[in-house]
Amino acid sequence: MNEQPHDVVLVVDLGAQYAQLIARRVREAHVYSEIVPRSMPVAEMLERRPAAIILSGGPASVHVDGAPSIDASLYNAGVPVLGICYGAQLIARDLGGEVAKTGRGEYGRTTLSVLDHGALFTDLPDEQVVWMSHFDTITLAPAGFRVAASTPETPAAAFGAPDRRIYGVQFHPEVAHTERGQEVLKAFLYEVAGCRPTWTNVSIIDHAVEEIRAQVGSERVICGLSGGVDSAIAAALVHKAVGDQLTCVFVDTGMMRLGEADQVEETFLRQFHVDLVHVKAADRFLAALDDVIDPERKRKIIGELFIRVFEEAAREIPGSPRFLVQGTLYPDIVESGGGDNANIKSHHNVGGLPDDMDFELVEPLRHLFKDEVRAIGEELGLPEEIVWRQPFPGPGLAVRIVGTITPERIDILQRADHIVVEEIKRAGLYREIWQSFAVLPAVRTVGVMGDDRTYAYPIILRAVTSDDAMTADWARLPYDLLERIASRVINEVPGVNRVAYDITSKPPGTIEWE
Ligand code: XMP
């Protein structure tokens, strides 16, 4: 087999949030890309035999002391280079152009005038909208470079030396607001660097399957299914690779969403014929949580019991599995915009498994972004409900039931939550909302239904938009949707007589109530 089945483009992270987005856009052009820290020596980058190197944007000015830089040997390595924003300024400065502090930066929408269509703008119009975010300005391209485009404030907004295959663009081709940005990026990848667009869903799967087979050989593998997207798709990939060498363990904590355990069985056992151990441990979790109201204690109890139950199930599996599948994703491994060093972020997944378990890890998604993971999940034939599931906390409904957890209260919350999700889906909003769910507080309120006074629980509706769960805003749901959810929850869920909508952003609130 070809040692390097895909062209690899390295995106050098020069210190902002841009590198991940650039890497994703390159992959959307079906070319495999990886982010590398700027501290990586150029020789090491070249050892990867990259088809091209992209220098990302960054928040710094090339004029400040300690501003990120790149060893100039890169420019003589014969590898095509594209500098974006700060990356373009570095190229301009390093090769003898001019980056000036004009005092007139450009931010946001800007009109780019193409002067020389060259390789990057071949089929593009003479004028186009681009997105800018810079303070210093490239006033002069280096000798031997042609200016390809300018804006009112930036004389050399795009420049290149076709013979050296080095290009720079001051604007951000990776952001959606740059109308033709993806075409500029593709022109660089295909026309300048000669990359082949071979990174497709099918090839991602083939590549992962080969890697898994090479790692696992004929050994046995175990995978914990949580009901979530990542573990499900990791399991499906490993199953495709090594078939019945894989055993999946699904620990039903009793804190899952309505129908979730059935869905996991239906998909993995009946559709994919995976060897599935379904541990029905709800009673043990309920007993352990008896009378516990402190949220952190709930988390700790569930986390520890989960590990114990999982280990017990693992011990029963014949052939002593040597490998454990984990659904780690690429952004969990790469920390973008970061410090100089290692760029590794430790990712602790509550409800997950501890590092000291006696397994070697198989992480088939570790090179993939979430959107790629979902795309291959669809390609593998997993149902939409799993592939597009919103994030769900490891401790499950336990952190959405404020106060004591009883079978009755779990039942109320599951039914209410199911209605919320059903109505949000019906309104076509499920994918664009980060999380939407029901919360059961520990108070009861008075109501009147028919001729009777009621004294029952309210349900809190929580729906937020977010990119990464670090910050979030409450979703502006249409009034008629709110009304439908409220009336269905009150009519269909016994024990509920009121619905309130949580309009707290994060911060100051958190997404979950506990
Ligand atoms: P908060 O509530 O802190 O949640 O704004 C941020 C994101 O993390 C999820 N979450 C958890 N996930 N174990 C998990 O695996 C947990 O204990 C946990 N607590 C919160 C939450 O659903 C949201 O997506």
Per-residue pLDDT reduced to its tens digit, 82-116: 999 999 999 999 999 999 998 888 999 999 999 99
Is position 514 within any domain? no
Torsion of CA 441, 443, 449, 451, to 10 degrees: 170
What phi and psi, each to the nearest 5 degrees, are found at residue 27?
-65, -35
Give which of 31, 9, 29 is closest to 19, Cα–Cα. Answer: 9
The verdict on whether omega for the bond into residue 508 sits within 30 degrees of 0, i.e. cis, is yes
Q: Is the pLDDT of residue 421 over 70?
A: yes
Q: Are residues 341 and 442 in the same domain?
A: no
Does the beta carbon of 350 lie inside 6 Å of ligand 1? yes
Q: Is the pLDDT of residue 184 over 80?
A: yes
Residue 4 has pLDDT above 90, yes or no: no
Ranges assigned E (strand) in 141-274? 146-150, 158-161, 166-169, 221-225, 246-252
Share of the chain above pLDDT 70, in %: 96
Spatial contact of 337 and 379, defined as CB atoms under 8 Å apart? no
- For residue 365, being part of any structural domain is answered with yes
Can you tell me the distance from the alpha carbon of 253 to that of 230, in angstroms, rounded to the nearest whole number? 18
Question: Which of 173, 192, 211 is a domain's end point?
Answer: 192
Peptide bond into 507 cis (omega under 30): yes
Distance CA 372, CA 331 (A): 12
CB 395 less than 6 A from any atom of ligand 1: yes
- Ligand 1 pocket, residue 366 CB under 6 Å: no
Q: Which atom of ligand 1 is nearest to the CA of 434?
A: 24
pLDDT at res. 104: 85
Q: Which amino acid is at 314?
A: A
pLDDT at 59 over 90: no
Predicted pLDDT at 143? 97
333 in the same domain as 271: yes
What would the DSSP string read from start to end of 334-376? B-TT--SS--B-----TTS--TTSS-EEE-TTTT--HHHHHHH
Average pLDDT over residues 14-26: 90
Mutate to test the pocket of ligand 1, among 435, 510, 512 (most ligand atoms within 8 A of CB): 512
Would you say residue 1 has pLDDT above 50? no
The secondary element (H helix, E strand) that includes residue 491 is helix 479-492
Q: Is residue 245 a part of any domain in this protein?
A: yes
63 within 8 A of 27, measured Cβ to Cβ? no
> Bigger pLDDT: 495 or 3?
495
Please check whether residues 164 and 296 belong to one and the same domain. Answer: no
CA distance 483 to 182: 41
Average pLDDT score over residue span 11-38: 93
Alpha carbon distance 88, 149 (integer Å): 13
- Residue closest via CA to ligand 1's atom 15 equals 394
Model confidence over 218-277: pLDDT tens digits? 999 999 999 899 999 999 999 999 999 999 999 999 999 999 999 999 999 999 999 999
Q: Are residues 333 and 430 in the same domain?
A: no
The closest-lying atom of ligand 1 relative to the alpha carbon of residue 392 is 22
Q: In what order do the strands lie in the sheet with 360-362?
A: 275-280, 246-252, 221-225, 323-325, 360-362
* Residue 354 CB partners (closer than 8 Å, separation 6+): 307
Q: According to the model, what pLDDT value does residue 350 have?
A: 42
Let me know whether 123 and 258 are in one domain.
no
Q: 127 and 21, same structural domain?
A: yes
pLDDT digits (tens, 9 = 90+) for 450-497: 889 999 999 999 999 998 899 999 999 999 999 999 999 999 999 999
> pTM here?
0.89
Query: Quick check: 161 pLDDT over 60?
Result: yes
Same domain, 188 and 78: yes
Q: Is the CB of 469 under 6 A from ligand 1?
A: yes
Domain boundary among 192, 215, 249: 192
For residue 392, being part of any structural domain is answered with: no
Does 327 contact ligand 1 (Cβ within 6 A)? no
Whether residues 44 and 133 fall in one domain: yes
In a domain, 55, yes or no: yes
Q: How far is the CA of 211 from the centre of ligand 1 (A)?
A: 31
User: Quick one: 361 and 224 in the same domain?
Assistant: yes
Domain of 496, CATH number, reads 3.30.300.10
pLDDT at 3: 53
> Nearest C-alpha to atom 18 of ligand 1 is from which residue?
393
What is the domain-level CATH number for residue 293?
Answer: 3.40.50.620
**pLDDT tops 60 at residue 342:** no
Q: Is the pLDDT of residue 210 over 50?
A: yes
Please report the sign of the dihedral spanned by the C-alpha atoms of residue 223, residue 224, residue 228, residue 230: negative
Verify that 217 and 186 share a domain, yes or no: no
| CA pair distance 419, 484, nearest whole angstrom | 10
Opening angle at CA 397, ends 393 and 400, nearest 5? 90
Q: Evaluate whether residue 394 is within a structural domain.
A: no
Res 343 pLDDT > 60: no
Are 53 and 177 contained in the same domain?
Answer: yes
Provide the annotated active-site residues.
85, 172, 174
Distance between CA atoms of 279 and 253, rounded to whole angstroms? 8
Residue with CA nearest ligand 1 atom 22: 393
Of 458, 383, 389, 392, the C-alpha closest to 255 is 392
Q: Residue 58: give its domain's CATH number.
A: 3.40.50.880
Cα–Cα dist 495/458, whole Å: 9
Asked if residue 294 is part of any domain, the answer here is yes
Residue 338 has pLDDT above 90, yes or no: no
- Do 238 and 335 sit in the same domain of this protein? yes
Residue 82's domain comprises: 8-192
Find the 359 Cα to ligand 1 centroid distance in Å: 26
- The residues, ordered by sequence, that sit 6+ positions from 181 with a Cβ below 8 Å of its Cβ are 25, 130, 131, 171, 172, 173, 174, 175
Amino acid symbol at 3 = E
Q: Is residue 471 lining ligand 1, measured as CB closer than 6 Å?
A: no
| pLDDT given at position 387 | 97
What's the mean per-residue pLDDT of the chain?
A: 93
* Domain count across the chain: 3
- Which residues have CB under 8 Å from 91's CB, separation 6+? 55, 75, 81, 83, 97, 142, 166, 168
Per-residue pLDDT, 105: 87
Distance CA 11, CA 345 (A): 18
- pLDDT, position 381: 96
In the prediction, which pLDDT does 352 show?
A: 62
Burial of 491: CB neighbours in 10 Å, binned 0-12, 13-18, 19+: exposed
- Asked if the model's pLDDT at residue 353 lies above 80, the reply is no
* Domain final residue, candidates 327, 356, 387: 387
Residues 184-196, mean pLDDT to the nearest whole number? 98
